[in-house]
Amino acid sequence: MKAVPLCMSKKVLITRIIPPLAQELLMKAGFEVSVWPGAGPMTQPDLIERAKQVNALISLGADKLDKTFFSQCGHLDIIAQFAVGFDNIDVGEATRLGIPIGNTPDVLSDATADVAFGLMIAVSRKMFYLHKTIQQGAWKQFEPLKNLGQELTGKTLGIFGMGRIGQVMAQRCMGAYSMKVIYHNRSRNAEAEQQFNARYVSFDELLRESDVLSVHSVLSAETKGLFNKEVFKRMKPTSIFINTSRGGVHNEVDLIEALQQGTIWGAGLDVTNPEPMKSDNPLLLMPTVAVLPHIGSATVEARNGMARVAAENIIAFYQRGHVPYCVNPGVLVERK
Ligand code: DGY
Q: How far is the CA of 85 from the centre of ligand 1 (A)?
A: 5
Q: Can you give the pLDDT at residue 1? A: 43
Q: Which residues contact 324 (CB under 8 A, 6 or more apart)?
A: 102, 309, 312, 313, 316
Amino acid identity at 251: N
Write the residue with the smallest CA distance to atom 1 of ligand 1. Answer: 83
Name the residue of 297, 309, 313 whose CB sits within 8 Å of the most ligand 1 atoms, as the mutation to test its pocket.
Answer: 297
Q: How far is the CA of 84 from the centre of ligand 1 (A)?
A: 5
Q: Which residues of the chain have pLDDT under 70?
A: 1-8, 335-336
Active-site annotation, residues: 246, 275, 294
Q: Can you give the pLDDT at residue 336? A: 60
Q: Which residues contact 330 (CB under 8 A, 6 or more apart)?
A: 95
Write the residue with the smallest CA distance to atom 2 of ligand 1. Answer: 83
For the four alpha carbons of 265, 270, 271 and 274, in that order, the dihedral sign comes to positive
Name the residue of 103, 108, 303 whose CB sits within 8 Å of the most ligand 1 atoms, as the mutation to test its pocket.
Answer: 108
CA dihedral 223, 57, 309, 243 (to 10 degrees): -20
Q: Can you give the pLDDT at residue 7? A: 47
Residues 313, 12: Cα–Cα separation, whole Å: 12
Q: Can you give the pLDDT at residue 9? A: 85
Write the residue with the smallest CA distance to atom 3 of ligand 1. Answer: 85
Would you put residue 67 in left (φ > 0), alpha (ψ -120 to 50) or beta? Answer: alpha
Write the residue with the smallest CA distance to atom 6 of ligand 1. Answer: 83
Give the phi and the psi of residue 180 in degrees, each rounded to 5. -80, 140
Q: How far is the CA of 216 from the centre of ligand 1 (A)?
A: 11
**Ligand 1 atom with least separation from CA of 103:** 2
Residues 60, 44: Cα–Cα separation, whole Å: 13
The string of pLDDT tens digits covering residues 200-250 is 999 999 999 999 999 999 999 999 999 999 999 999 999 999 999 999 999
Strand order in the sheet with 156-160: 199-200, 180-184, 156-160, 212-215, 240-243, 266-269, 289-291
Q: How far is the CA of 102 from the centre of ligand 1 (A)?
A: 13
Q: Can you give the pLDDT at residue 4? A: 52
Q: Can you give the pLDDT at residue 62? A: 97
- 195-200: list long-range contacts, CB under 8 Å, 24+ apart: 195/167, 195/171, 196/167, 196/170, 196/171, 198/159, 198/162, 198/170
**Ligand 1 atom with least separation from CA of 271:** 5
Write out the H or E segment, with its range, that includes residue 285: none
CA dihedral 67, 73, 78, 81 (to 10 degrees): -60
Residues 54, 120: Cα–Cα separation, whole Å: 43
Q: How far is the CA of 133 from the centre of ligand 1 (A)?
A: 32
Q: How far apart are the first and last CA of the chain?
A: 9
Helices (H), the chain: 21-28, 44-51, 67-73, 91-96, 109-124, 127-135, 164-177, 190-195, 203-209, 229-233, 252-260, 300-320, 330-335
Q: Can you give the pLDDT at residue 327? A: 98
Q: How far is the CA of 273 from the centre of ligand 1 (A)?
A: 15
Judge if the upstream peptide bond of residue 276 is cis by omega within 30 degrees of 0. yes
The pTM of the full predicted model, rounded to 2 decimals, is 0.96
Q: Which residues contact 301 (CB under 8 A, 6 or more apart)?
A: 107, 110, 111
**Ligand 1 atom with least separation from CA of 61:** 7
Q: Where are the domains of the chain?
A: 11-107+299-335, 109-291
Query: Are the beta carbons of 101 and 79 closer than 8 angstroms?
Result: yes
CATH architecture entry for 11-107+299-335:
3-Layer(aba) Sandwich (3.40)
Of the candidates 81, 250, 235, 225, the one whose C-alpha atom is nearest the C-alpha of residue 156 is 235
Q: For domain 109-291, give its CATH number from 3.40.50.720, 3.30.70.870, 3.30.465.10, 3.30.930.10.
A: 3.40.50.720
Question: Which residues sit with their C-beta closer than 6 Å to ligand 1?
Answer: 61, 83-85, 108, 296-297
